[in-house]
């Protein structure tokens, strides 16, 4: 059985009770998964923050003795699901939900890659073991995971399809563009990503060419650099400086894909089933 509860714009008394009394679900049957979705604005957002005691979203995790957990992700969505506990209080199911929320187009094969910013784990733990498990499980479907940057505050996780990424960055115009950032000697995907990781590590900032590795059009990446992020014709999945109509169609496909994946995941479809080989 799968239950979905949704409240838009306001936190209802029932929702507040669920947040405050998460332990009431201790006896939830193992066949049940519950997801709560919230879109919160204004005073309701302030009230939500107080309820969560200012803890960074996605870090607010309640773990129960039967393996269920409630957590709030960085889109202020509240999830209550069953998963396997990992080091640092993180779970495989946690990352599954985040991937569905933020990487659906990549999972579906519509997009070559996505980049996630994950918060630090408790007690000095890292994501290394969890990412190794995901690679072992999903590389066979052509989906790979790599940590590009990690510091005490955050970890940047690159979720990508290596063959698609390599074809794109080896295009003559893309290759010529990347040479100015030190990619001239890169021949395979590992070398390109090693260089990208070193660019992140140089000063901890987001290197502009990273958009290329996410599949952004070259014209838009160059436009962003030339305009310092200002004067975009359209803002969506990225800032558009070139073909607005093509970008808008792409954004719509991504939005539809994300909603479809959220709906299917909410009724029990597994992440593995949603990854297109």
> Domain limits of the chain?
2-82, 95-258
The predicted pLDDT at position 217 comes to 97
What distances in angstroms separate CA 211 from CA 206, 221, 239, one per listed residue?
9, 6, 10
As a whole number of angstroms, the distance between CA 60 and CA 66 comes to: 18
Least Cα distance to 58 among 143, 138, 119, 142 occurs for 119
pTM: 0.70
pLDDT < 70 regions, the chain = 1-93, 123, 203-204
| Sign, CA torsion 175/180/186/191 | negative
The predicted pLDDT at position 1 comes to 29
| Sheet with 144-150: strands ordered across | 113-119, 154-160, 144-150
Which two tokens mark 7? 């409240």
| φ, ψ at 62 (rounded to 5°) | -110, 125
As a whole number of angstroms, the distance between CA 266 and CA 38 comes to: 14
| Sign, CA torsion 72/36/41/100 | positive
């Amino acid at each position: 059985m799968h239950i979905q509860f949704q409240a838009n714009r306001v936190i209802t008394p029932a929702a507040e009770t669920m947040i405050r009394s998460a332990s009431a679900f201790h006896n939830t049957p193992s066949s049940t998964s519950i997801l709560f979705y919230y879109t919160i604005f204004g005073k309701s957002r302030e009230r939500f923050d107080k309820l969560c005691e200012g803890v960074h979203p996605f870090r607010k995790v309640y773990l129960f003795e039967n393996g269920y957990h409630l957590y709030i992700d960085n889109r202020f969505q509240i999830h209550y699901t069953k998963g396997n506990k990992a080091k640092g209080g993180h779970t495989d199911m946690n990352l599954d939900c985040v991937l569905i929320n933020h990487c659906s187009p990549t999972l579906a094969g519509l997009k070559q890659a996505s980049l996630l910013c994950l918060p630090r784990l408790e007690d000095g733990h890292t994501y290394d073991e969890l990412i190794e498990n995901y690679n072992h499980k999903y590389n066979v479907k052509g989906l790979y995971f790599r940590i590009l940057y990690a510091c005490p505050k955050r970890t940047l996780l690159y979720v990508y399809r290596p063959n698609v990424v390599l074809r794109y960055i080896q295009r003559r115009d893309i290759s010529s563009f990347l040479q100015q950032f030190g990619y001239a000697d890169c021949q395979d995907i590992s070398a390109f990503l090693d260089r990208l990781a070193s660019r992140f590590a140089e000063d901890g900032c987001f290197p502009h060419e990273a958009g290329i590795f996410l599949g952004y059009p070259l014209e838009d990446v160059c436009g962003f650099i030339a305009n310092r992020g200002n004067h975009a014709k359209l803002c969506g999945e990225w800032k558009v400086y070139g073909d607005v109509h093509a970008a808008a169609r792409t954004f719509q496909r991504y939005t539809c894909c994300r909603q479809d994946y959220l709906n299917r995941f909410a009724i029990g479809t597994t992440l593995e089933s949603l990854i297109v080989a």
